[in-house]
């Protein structure tokens, strides 16, 4: 906004705050409502279009059954207990493998970030192992741990571990040296430095890696169940495709996607509760 002084004739530019700055809470609520509407409205529109094209026979329903047919097949699978058992089995392996991978990755990442000796000894080895295709390690896990759920859990843990450990190491190294020096001047020992300076400064970056690996974990467990499994959601999807039951197969795929969304959302919620820097902040209007 421009204005001109009537006495001096000098033209000045004055910035007028927008509605977002004047009422940040109201703007945030409006934006959150629009975000939720778009997030839920987009898949609804896609499913409606899918239903219409299937009913009009514009697509081959042998391979792309209507969403209502998929819904009915999914409900029948849950009533029979087949889908329930598969979901519970997959979720169990997912949670165990993910927790083991995240915890071990964060702990080792903190050690590598704080100790140059440990970093010199292990960092290159970890980077080399990280580049290996994780599915290529699965036959080795089968030899070591035998058949069953354990090798699948280990594969999920390993897939999560390498991403988290490298991210945690980089996050700890990137902590400003000035923070460490200030804590040392105030008499902080190594444990206090780690607890009150390094971990709070590094956790936002570590949290990003933890969120990222939540989606990777569900991809790994469903994928390995398809390749070499006798239970779980991935096995059900693959088995139904072999007997040409596309409706139940699609139901399994959709449920796998929902598990990924819910699991990632729960991880994000937990991180927001545990890490103050992750919580949204609003200025008072």
Residues 171 and 248 in one domain: yes
Classify residue 166: in a domain, yes or no: yes
Residues 229 and 203 in one domain: yes
CA distance 162 to 209: 10
* Residue 36, pLDDT above cutoff 90: no
Residues 104 and 204 in one domain: yes
Q: Which domain holds residue 47?
A: 24-59
Among the candidates 9, 40, 59, a domain finishes at 59
* Residue 4, pLDDT above cutoff 80: no
Structural domain total, the chain: 2
Query: Which residues face 3 on adjacent strands?
Result: 12
Classify residue 6: in a domain, yes or no: no
pLDDT computed for residue 2 by the predictor? 53
Residues 137 and 160 in one domain: yes
Confidence class for position 159, pLDDT limits 50, 70, 90: very high
Residues 213 and 81 in one domain: yes
pLDDT computed for residue 6 by the predictor? 56
The percent of the chain in helix, strand and coil, each rounded to the nearest 5, is 80, 0, 20
pLDDT computed for residue 15 by the predictor? 61
**Which are the contacts of 110, defined by CB distance < 8 A and separation ≥ 6?**
168, 172, 194, 198, 199, 202
CA distance 55 to 53: 6
Residues 129 and 45 in one domain: no
Residues 216 and 186 in one domain: yes
Mean pLDDT value across the chain: 83
Query: Phi then psi for 6, rounded to 5 degrees?
Result: -70, -25
CB distance 86 to 240 below 8 Å: no
Classify residue 13: in a domain, yes or no: no
**Angle, nearest 10°, between helix axes 116-130 and 150-173?**
130
Among the candidates 12, 39, 59, a domain finishes at 59
Interval 212-237 mean pLDDT:
88
Residues 47 and 94 in one domain: no
- SS3 category, 11: strand
Q: How much of the chain, in percent, has pLDDT values that exceed 90? A: 32
Classify residue 172: in a domain, yes or no: yes
Residues 140 and 194 in one domain: yes
Q: What angle do CA 82, 100, 258 make, to 5 degrees?
A: 40
Classify residue 146: in a domain, yes or no: yes
Residues 85 and 183 in one domain: yes
Confidence class for position 255, pLDDT limits 50, 70, 90: very high
* Residue 210, pLDDT above cutoff 70: yes
Helix (H) or strand (E) holding 241: helix 233-242
pLDDT computed for residue 179 by the predictor? 65
CATH number of residue 147's parent domain: 1.10.3720.10
CA distance 66 to 47: 9
Interval 160-167 mean pLDDT:
93
Exposure pattern of 13-31 as b/e (b: 16+ CB <10 Å)? eeeeeeeeeeeeeebeeee
Among the candidates 59, 85, 102, a domain finishes at 59
CA distance 13 to 223: 60
pLDDT computed for residue 105 by the predictor? 93
Classify residue 46: in a domain, yes or no: yes
Q: What angle do CA 51, 52, 57 make, to 5 degrees?
A: 100
pTM, entire model: 0.79
Classify residue 151: in a domain, yes or no: yes
Residues 51 and 140 in one domain: no
Classify residue 19: in a domain, yes or no: no
């Amino acid at each position: 906004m421009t204005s001109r002084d009537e006495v001096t004739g000098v033209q000045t530019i004055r910035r007028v705050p927008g509605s977002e700055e004047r009422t940040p809470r109201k703007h945030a609520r409006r934006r959150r409502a629009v975000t939720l509407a778009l997030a839920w409205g987009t898949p609804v529109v896609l499913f409606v279009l899918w239903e219409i094209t299937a009913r009009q026979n514009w697509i081959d329903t042998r391979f792309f059954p209507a969403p209502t047919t998929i819904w009915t097949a999914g409900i029948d699978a849950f009533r029979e207990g087949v889908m329930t058992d598969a979901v519970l089995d997959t979720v169990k392996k997912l949670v165990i493998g993910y927790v083991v991978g995240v915890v071990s990755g964060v702990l080792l990442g903190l050690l590598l970030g704080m100790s140059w000796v440990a970093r010199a000894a292990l960092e290159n080895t970890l980077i080399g192992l990280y580049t290996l295709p994780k599915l290529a390690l699965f036959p080795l896990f089968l030899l070591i741990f035998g058949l069953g759920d354990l090798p699948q859990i280990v594969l999920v843990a390993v897939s999560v571990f390498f991403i988290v450990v490298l991210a945690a190491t980089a996050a700890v190294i990137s902590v400003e040296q000035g923070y460490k020096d200030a804590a040392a001047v105030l008499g902080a020992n190594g444990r206090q430095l780690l607890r009150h300076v390094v971990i709070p400064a590094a956790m936002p970056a570590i949290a990003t890696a933890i969120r990222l690996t939540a989606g990777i974990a569900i991809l790994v467990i469903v994928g390995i169940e398809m390749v070499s499994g006798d239970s779980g959601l991935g096995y059900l999807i693959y088995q139904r495709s072999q007997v040409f039951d596309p409706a139940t197969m699609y139901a399994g795929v959709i449920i796998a996607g929902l598990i990924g969304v819910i699991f990632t959302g729960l991880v994000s919620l937990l991180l927001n509760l545990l890490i103050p820097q992750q919580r949204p902040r609003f200025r008072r209007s």
